[in-house]
């Protein structure tokens, strides 16, 4: 899949998608040191551009005809570690949506902090993405369950043209590892505890058998007198006895490989690039989920509530309900895992498949019926969700 990354930074997200099997044809960022480090490690296809200049960059992206656009618009205006107002950086989320509307890739992936989900900028961007025809999966992923030794929780929005919303949510959950990745999985430290400057009133000392906290620019700072005089009550040992990770060790925690080099930038800038990066193992996991769905190797999971609805609202027996769910899954496999924004389009696509045309008339009817029932259940879910939201708004206003 031809891939473009916007706001590429030093290249963590590109590295992960390359490892998953994507073809990175172009990357853009407005920060010169980040682009230089990207070019030194990932590839020469990174370019320095002000991504606020939609009129210049937009036609360039469209001409490249990407299959997917990925990227993490600047998050400092959303982050609880930074400003609490929406400023120029937050507006770049809108620019990301504009680029999607111009280039029209089949897929996109946008990463940001969780707080972005409640912002006006994201509401505007989301509206543009929906108007452009994208179905959206909005998931908060904890990197420690995707091969990264830190409890970094970030919003990932995956979009695909013509899909229903939440089409990839179950596949992202299924891609989680069996256990959290911990510090000792990435670093062999003689000290069994590490210190990281805590945010707000958080804990400063952690065992190497735990994940590291989310890496921030200040993660390599030594404990200050204020913390030493008033340590967190859950610290297992005094902060002075714990290791303070070096820049290169923090880069490992963030998913950069051992052979990664930082030829350009001050020490502060490099720490900022590390903190800003999308960890490559997490990006690789997300990319793998997308490629599997693109190849039709996975299908969306049907929630258990569908079986209950069939029994309660349709009067089906338990066995009949299971049969309907099985038929719905069979139809979805014939569709290569793809969902559709309307039932008519879904059935039209199903009827166009060679495997469906080879089935008996009875089986074809059963598959159509299963898709209709599933669409009816989804519509009722949306109506109930909207009613609850309206009721909550009225209560808040009362």
Q: Which residues are catalytic?
A: 75
List the Cα angle 131/294/64 in 5-degree steps.
65
DSSP 8-state secondary structure symbol assigned to residue 138? E
Largest pairwise CA distance in the chain: 78
Q: Which of 41, 70, 72 is nearest to 257 (CA)?
A: 41
How do strand 107-113 and strand 153-161 relate by DSSP bridges?
A: antiparallel
Length of the chain: 398
End-to-end CA distance of the chain: 51
Buried b / exposed e across 232-246, counting CB within 10 Å, b at 16+?
Answer: eeebeeebeebbbbe
Q: What is the dihedral of CA 176, 178, 183, 188, to 10 degrees?
A: -120
**50, 35 contact by CB (below 8 A):** no
What is the Cα Rg of the chain in Å? 23
**90, 78 contact by CB (below 8 A):** yes
Q: Residue 142: beta bridge partners?
A: 153
Query: What is the C-alpha separation between 18 and 297, in angstroms, rounded?
Result: 20
Interaxial angle between packed helices 267-276 and 32-41, expressed in degrees from 0 to 180 and rounded to the nearest 10: 70
**34, 271 contact by CB (below 8 A):** no
C-alpha neighbours within 13 Å on the C-beta side of residue 127: 6
Q: Which of 218, 310, 307, 222 is nearest to 267 (CA)?
A: 218
- Other CB atoms closer than 10 Å to residue 152's CB: what's the count? 25
User: Both tokens of residue 274?
Assistant: 């590390």
How do strand 23-29 and strand 153-161 relate by DSSP bridges?
A: unpaired
């Amino acid at each position: 899949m031809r891939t473009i990354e916007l706001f590429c930074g030093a290249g963590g997200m590109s590295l992960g998608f390359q490892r998953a099997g994507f073809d990175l044809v172009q990357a853009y960022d407005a920060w010169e040191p980040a682009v230089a480090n990207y070019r030194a490690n990932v590839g020469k296809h990174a370019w320095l551009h002000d991504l606020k200049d939609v009129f210049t960059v937009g036609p360039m992206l469209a001409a490249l005809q990407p299959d997917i656009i990925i990227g993490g618009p600047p998050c400092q205006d959303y982050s609880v570690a930074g400003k609490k107002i929406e400023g120029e950086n937050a507006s770049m989320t809108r620019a990301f949506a504009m680029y999607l509307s111009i280039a029209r890739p089949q897929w996109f992936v946008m990463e940001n902090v969780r707080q972005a989900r409640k912002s006006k900028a994201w509401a505007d961007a989301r509206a543009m993405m929906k108007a452009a025809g994208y179905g959206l999966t909005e998931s908060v992923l904890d990197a420690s369950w995707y091969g990264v030794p830190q409890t970094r929780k970030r919003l990932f929005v995956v979009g695909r043209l013509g899909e229903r919303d939440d089409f990839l949510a179950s596949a992202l959950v299924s891609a989680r590892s069996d256990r959290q990745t911990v510090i000792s999985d990435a670093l062999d430290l003689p000290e069994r505890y590490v210190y990281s400057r805590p945010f707000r009133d958080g804990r400063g000392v952690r065992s190497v058998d735990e994940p590291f906290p989310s890496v921030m620019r200040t993660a390599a700072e030594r404990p200050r007198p204020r913390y030493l005089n008033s340590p967190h009550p859950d610290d297992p040992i005094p902060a002075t006895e714990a290791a303070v990770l070096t820049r290169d060790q923090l880069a490992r925690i963030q998913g950069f490989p051992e052979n990664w080099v930082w030829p350009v930038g001050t020490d502060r800038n490099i720490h900022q690039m590390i903190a800003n990066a999308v960890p490559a193992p997490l990006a690789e996991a997300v990319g793998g989920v997308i490629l599997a769905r693109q190849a039709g190797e996975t299908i969306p999971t049907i929630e258990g509530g569908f079986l209950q609805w069939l029994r309660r609202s349709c009067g089906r027996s338990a066995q009949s309900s299971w049969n309907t769910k099985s038929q719905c899954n069979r139809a979805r496999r014939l569709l290569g895992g793809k969902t559709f924004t309307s039932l008519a389009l879904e059935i039209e696509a199903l009827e166009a498949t060679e495997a469906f045309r080879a089935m008996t008339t009875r089986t074809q009817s059963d598959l159509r019926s299963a898709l209709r029932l599933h669409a009816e259940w989804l519509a009722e879910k949306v109506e109930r969700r909207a009613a609850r939201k309206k009721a909550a708004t009225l209560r808040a206003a009362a």
